[in-house]
Amino acid sequence: MRFISLLLLTFSLSSAQTSYEKGKALYLAKVCYSCHGHKLEGMNTFPRLANRAKGYMSYKLKRFRSKQADTQAQEMMITYSVNLSDEDIDDLTTFMYEYIDEESSERYDDSFQTHGDGGS
Ligand code: HEC
């Protein structure tokens, strides 16, 4: 039995190598999709997570992990983040930030560029 779990562990580690893939596996394993959607698109009051700033997302997840929530709705997130390690959060936020919809290859980029065309 122990051998089989070790085998499964080795398999899951070797099949999920990049941070993006590990984040994706975590996103599925931790059922984040049940609220945030299979395409990270959000649902009703549950926020969209696709292509959101990595730094902000990890700041939020670490706050939830330390049981801090600003609103009652956010308290829902505490349960889903208390067991996340720093590495888990890093993988999850990489997955969110770099998320690509594999069916349409669409990617939204909401990063703000301060240097523009000078308002022409
Ligand atoms: C039961 C529903 C539910 C599940 C499951 C859930 N979330 Fe959330 N999530 C929420 C709610 C509610 C908020 C807070 C929305 C608000 O600020 O009003 C939130 C907020 C967040 C935020 C902050 C987004 C922002 O715009 O501030 C992140 C990041 C996040 N969730 C990631 C995750 C991850 C990763 C998982 C899986 C480990 C997960 N969520 C599972 C309901 C859920």
Mutate to test the pocket of ligand 1, among 19, 24, 36 (most ligand atoms within 8 A of CB): 36
pLDDT greater at residue 14 or residue 41: 41
Per-residue pLDDT for 1 more than 80?
no
8 A C-beta contact, residue 96 and residue 57? yes
Annotation: CATH topology of 17-98: Cytochrome Bc1 Complex; Chain D, domain 2 (1.10.760)
Residue with tokens 């998320």: 99
Per-residue pLDDT for 9 more than 90?
no
Q: How far is CA 18 from the centre of its chain?
A: 14
Between CA 41 and CA 27 the distance in angstroms is 13
Per-residue pLDDT for 57 more than 90?
yes
8 A C-beta contact, residue 75 and residue 68? no
pLDDT per residue as tens digits for the range 60-118: 999 999 999 999 999 999 999 999 999 999 999 999 999 998 777 666 666 666 666 66
CA 84 to ligand 1: nearest atom: 38
Residue ranges around ligand 1 (CB below 6 Å): 30-32, 34-36, 45-47, 49, 57, 60-61, 71, 73-74, 76-77, 80, 92
One-letter amino acid for residue 120 of the chain:
S
pLDDT per residue as tens digits for the range 14-23: 654 799 999 9
